[in-house]
Chain A
Amino acid sequence: MTQENLLEVKNLVVTFGKKKNPFYAVNNVSFNIKKGETFGLVGESGSGKTTIGRAIMRINKSSGGDILFKGKKINGKINKELDREVIKKIQMIFQDPMASLNERAKVDYIISEGLYNLKNYGSEADRKAIVEKTLLSVGLLPEFASRFPHEFSGGQRQRIGIARTLVMEPELILADEPISALDVSIRAQVLNLLNELKKELGLTYLFIAHDLSVVRFITDRVAVIHKGKLVELAETEELYNNAIHPYTKGLLSAIPMPNPKTERNKKAMPYNPSIHDYTNHPPSWVEIKPNHFVLANEAEIASYRKEINS
């Protein structure tokens, strides 16, 4: 894992709605993703995590800030060549396998769609060979190419969605809750596949999720987002073992563990945003420990440091 930054997000702002009273879905978010790592973005519904993913994919327009891919700015207006490169190098896996495939198209077309767009193949035989190879690499049989999506189960459909992105030969894959809609025992299959592909093809992942137990298993670093702002960012084990921000703590304590002895008597510790008083002392993004960032104002930083040292 090199130290080179594949993706840099700087002060990203995404708003929806009228110009006078916009809704800040993403409010001044900054983070970097290094080449070869799996970066997790965790938050609840409405936190803005999907919006960030879509802004990077250029489906949503950004209203401020920069997104840099390999040093080049990719949000806003870009020229055709860079657009082509971005389409090729950054791809997305969607959440709902039932809705993310075109029901009326054969699997063959669904997987080849990217190839048709980029004209990235020689002859018709070439294209067929690429489709076959890709189906095999995601664990499906080549004969599935002539069938329709509705003939497959959720896990298989999600694999078709992954195959669709692989033909583009991407470097960065945004996985937007790729396993939330799948059955528990199928999730493991898809996660194993993602890990395998990462090793084989040297991919980098941005893994967006709300299921913290899965995120712990698959990511190297995690960022926690709440109402459009990042509240904490650290390496995965560090975050799970030494969470600092009260929202992160609340989130971690709410995960139900499969252990009846501890769970039965556990009481929920809800996060109350009013414990922060930001009227006179606005918070900033502080590196409170090496590679461990928190959103806090000075008073809070002082109390967090006390906690860490005690």
Chain B
Amino acid sequence: MRKPIQKIADNIDESLFTIHTFDASKAEQTGYSNYSYWRSTWQMFLKNKVAFFLMVLICILLIFTLIQPYLPYQKLPTEIYLDETTNMQLRNQHPSIEHWFGTNSIGQDLWSRIWSGTRTSLFIGFIVGLFEAVIGILIGAIWGYVRKLDRIITEIYNVWNNIPTTIILVLLTYILRPCLSTLIFAMCITGWLGMARFVRNLIVIIRDREYNLASRCLGTPTGRIIYKNLLPYLVSVIMLRLALAIPAAIGSEVFLTYIGLGLPVDIPSLGNLINEGRILMMSPDLRYQLFFPAIVLSVVTISFYVIGNAFADAADPRNHV
């Protein structure tokens, strides 16, 4: 045996060369990783400054739409305001101290109309989104997991999907009174299809993974397998779709109002407001009536879109550094 490098070995005390008493428990000390999925997701999300800013913005917007009627100096959205002196309708007034966004062509205060409209549109968006989520996930999960039902539900989906939404809406509006509940009802019964298909595809991918087989071997019933094994993996993608469903629903409402199938004029909504504004688009004087609702709609849509995407990216465990 040749001598080792002198400089390290020389200064070491002889007594150190004795056998250390072996402590088996020390051998078991593992590296405990303090990784929490949701905390990592939240941290990744916060890194995206734009998304965070927009999320704060949307929260403020939401809170504002809810508390706006209770603030002082607010006007009623459907009341027609008369000029005190002439007793004529205050039509097409520009934004002023009295009416912060001006008035529309029949003298209604635009500021309160816009917030009332945003309330209505957001309400529609959330309800439709929620329905889509609950029914879509339920049906999608069963469709994807229970092999026997796959064929039959696929056939139903194919038929239902091919009927254009517009036709269903026309029919329903014709049969029932055109009002808020009709619109929500119509959008709900066509909206869930996309979510169901999406969830079904994901479930088909993960249903035969080993941990699901293990659960089957243990006799776990289908419901609990879906609830405990499959859905937790889909939470992030479901959140994304929800976040996109809301602006989609609002957009649909705007479109339907545009073609005359939407809400009646006495219920303000972003769709109604934009429609009214559109008529006056040509005269530069009155453009403000289109301007304000369009901005609100754009902000809402873009925010939800960006937040949804940022959240989906953050929730993907592969992006967790």
Contact = CB atoms under 8 A, between A and B. Distances in A.
A57 B210 CA distance: 13
Given A95-B210, A104-B233, A151 B32 contact: yes
Contacts of B214: 92, 94, 100-101, 161, 164
A91 interface: yes
A84 interface: yes
B210 A113 contact: no
Contacts of A99: 209-211
Contact of A153 (B30, B216, B229, B232): B30
B218 A87 contact: yes
Contacts of A109: 228
Interface size class of A (residues with CB under 8 A): 20 to 34
A117 B218 contact: yes
B35 interface: yes
A102 B228 contact: yes
A114 interface: yes
Contact of A91 (B32, B217, B220, B232): B217
B210 A150 contact: no
A72 to B, nearest CB: 17
A259 B229 CA distance: 46
A220 interface: no
B2 to A, nearest CB: 25
Contacts of B232: 104-105
Contacts of B221: 117
B56 interface: no
Interface in B10-35: 30, 32-33, 35
Contacts of A164: 214, 218
B228 A87 contact: no
Interface string A45-61: 00000000010010100
A300 interface: no
Interface in B197-220: 209-211, 213-220
A150 B218 contact: no
Contacts of B217: 57, 59, 87, 91-92
A116 B228 CA distance: 13
A109 B229 CA distance: 11
Contacts of B233: 104
A223 interface: no
A102 B232 CA distance: 10
B41 to A, nearest CB: 13
Contacts of A117: 218-221
A145 B229 CA distance: 18
Contacts of A54: 213
Contacts of A103: 211
Interface string A86-99: 01000110111001
Given A102-B228, A150-B35, A114 B219 contact: yes
Interface in B96-135: none
A17 to B, nearest CB: 15
Nearest to A153: B30
A118 interface: yes
A96 B210 contact: yes
Interface of A: 54, 57, 59, 84, 87, 91-92, 94-96, 99-105, 109, 113-114, 116-118, 150-153, 156, 161, 164, 168
9 contacts: A54-B213, A91-B218, A100-B211, A102-B229, A104-B233, A105-B228, A113-B220, A116-B220, A117-B218
Interface of B: 30, 32-33, 35, 37, 209-211, 213-221, 224, 228-229, 232-233
Given A57-B217, A104-B233, A117-B219, 19 more contacts: A54-B213, A92-B214, A92-B217, A94-B213, A99-B210, A100-B211, A100-B213, A100-B214, A102-B215, A103-B211, A105-B228, A113-B218, A113-B220, A117-B220, A150-B33, A150-B35, A151-B32, A152-B30, A156-B30
